[in-house]
Amino acid sequence: MRRHGQRHWGGEFKGCGYRMTKPRQAILDVLGETDEHLSAEDIYQAVYKFYPNIGMTTVYRNLELLVDMSLIVRFDFGHGRAKYELTDQYSEKGHHHHLVCKKCNKVIDYSDFMNDEVKFLKSTEKGLSEIYKFRITDHLIQFLGICEECSKK
Amino acid sequence: MRRHGQRHWGGEFKGCGYRMTKPRQAILDVLGETDEHLSAEDIYQAVYKFYPNIGMTTVYRNLELLVDMSLIVRFDFGHGRAKYELTDQYSEKGHHHHLVCKKCNKVIDYSDFMNDEVKFLKSTEKGLSEIYKFRITDHLIQFLGICEECSKK
DNA sequence: ATATCTGCAAAGACTTTGCATGAGA
DNA sequence: TCTCATGCAAAGTCTTTGCAGATAT
C-alpha cells in the first residue's frame, strides 16, 4: 500500500539500534511529499490524516531523532516554531537556501548562484577551520528582507 | 554616574514616539559592555544587579522594540532561547558572523575572510533581488560543526 | 499634562519528561 | 523475547498579554 513518493528508509535505521516504525515512515513520507517547510504541528496534522493514532510527543521525539541521524534538518526562522525539511541528499529540492520576508515570514527557497556560493564557502571554510580548529560540517545561509507583496503595502 | 562604555542613545529615540528610559539605557549598556551573545534571561540578570526593580516583561518588551529599531539583532541558534547583540554599527565587534558548535552550543565570532564574503554577497544579493523581487536588507551566515574541545572527546 | 512605559500576575505557545503499554527485529 | 518506541498526561521553558500605577518629555 505504498503511495506516490514513499520510499524505504529501513537501511538508514539498520545497525544503529533504531527501528523503522509506522510513525517514522509517516513523518518521512510527509516531509518527502511537500515543498514547504513544516513545523512539528504541521507534520502532526498531516500524519494524523492517515494515521490518527499518532501523538504529538511521538512527532517531537522522532523529529529530534531524524535530525540526529541527519535525515532531516531543523530551521529556526525566528518566530516561534521550528521548521523541518529533508536533508539535501534525500530531497527533490536539492541544495538550496532561504530568502525570508521579515514582514510576513514567508520563506522562499532558492538554488541560484550556487557557483558564487561554492567559491566563497570553499575558501572561507578552509580558512575558518584552520584558524579556529573547527571541523565544519554544515552552513546556514539566509537572506532577509521584504518580499514583493509586502513592498507594495 | 556614567560607567565605562555607556553611551547616549537619546537621539535614536527622539522623533519616533519612543522615550529613553532607565530600563532601556540599562539593557543597551549591558549589551554594549559584553562580547557574549546574551539571552533575555542573561540580560535580566545583568541589569538586575544595578537596577533591581527591573521586570522580565520589560526586558522582553524592550528587546523587541530595539530589534524593530535595528539597534540590536536577535539570533536563534536553535536551542531554545534567543540571543541578542548590538547591531554591527553600534558594536565594537563590527561586522562578523558565527561559528556554532553542534555539540556544546558554543558560539565563536569571526570576522575573517570578509573579502570573499563581500564578493559572494554582492553578486548573490543582486541576482536574488532581481529574480525574486525581494528587497534584501540583511543576511545571516553561520558555519556549523564541532569545536576543538568537542573533537577531542 | 498626557501619552508612553513599567511591573506584577496570569496566560499562552511550543516542547520535553515520566511511565505503563504496545510493537519491531 | 526483549529492547526500543508509543501515547497519554503532566510538567517545563521561554515569551506574551492585561491592567493599574509610574514616568519621560
Say if residue A59 is in the same domain as residue A120: no
pLDDT digits (tens, 9 = 90+) for A116-148: 999 999 999 999 999 999 999 999 999 999 999
**Which residues contact residue B107 at a Cβ distance below 8 angstroms, ignoring those fewer than 6 apart?**
B37, B77, B83, B98, B99, B100, B101
pLDDT at residue A5 in the model: 55
Are A52 and A28 in contact, with CB atoms under 8 Å apart? Answer: no
Contact B113 A135 (CB under 8 A): no
Task: Pick the residue from chain B with its C-alpha nearest to A82.
Answer: B78
Are B50 and B74 in contact, with CB atoms under 8 Å apart? Answer: no
pLDDT digits (tens, 9 = 90+) for A77-96: 888 899 999 999 999 998 99
Say if residue A104 is in the same domain as residue A72: no
Say if residue B85 is in the same domain as residue B99: no
- What is the distance between the alpha carbons of residues B89 and A96, in angstroms, rounded to a whole number? 30
Partner A contacted by B103 (CB < 8 A): no
* Domain limit, last residue, from B40, B59, B90: B90
CA of B119 to C1' of C11 (A): 48
Which pLDDT band, with edges at 50, 70 and 90, does A8 fall under? confident
In this model, does residue A61 exceed pLDDT 90?
yes
The full DSSP string for B3-34 is PTT----HHHHTTTT----HHHHHHHHHHHT-
pLDDT at residue A1 in the model: 38
CA of A116 to C1' of C17 (A): 46
What averages of pLDDT result for each successive group of 10 residues across chain B (153 residues)? 66 92 97 95 96 97 96 90 94 93 89 93 95 94 92 83
Cα four-point dihedral sign A11, A15, A20, A24 = negative
Longest CA–CA span in chain B (Å) reads 55
Contact A132 B147 (CB under 8 A): yes
Say if residue B104 is in the same domain as residue B75: no
Contact B125 A143 (CB under 8 A): yes
In this model, does residue A150 exceed pLDDT 70?
yes
Partner B contacted by A148 (CB < 8 A): yes
Give how far the C-alpha of residue B153 lies from the chain's centroid of Cα atoms, to the nearest Å. Answer: 31
Domain residue limits at B113: 95-153
Which CATH number characterizes residue B60's domain?
1.10.10.10
Say if residue B7 is in the same domain as residue B77: yes
Angle made by CA atoms A70, A76, A81, in degrees to the nearest 5: 110
**Which residues contact residue B4 at a Cβ distance below 8 angstroms, ignoring those fewer than 6 apart?**
B33
pLDDT at residue B117 in the model: 94
Which pLDDT band, with edges at 50, 70 and 90, does A48 fall under? very high
Nine-digit cell string for A84: 523541518
Which CATH number characterizes residue A149's domain?
3.30.1490.190
Q: For testing the chain B interface, which of A140, A142, A144, A147 should be mutated: the one with the most B CBs within 10 Å?
A: A140
Q: What phi and psi, each to the nearest 5 degrees, are found at residue A124?
A: -70, -45
Say if residue A31 is in the same domain as residue A51: yes
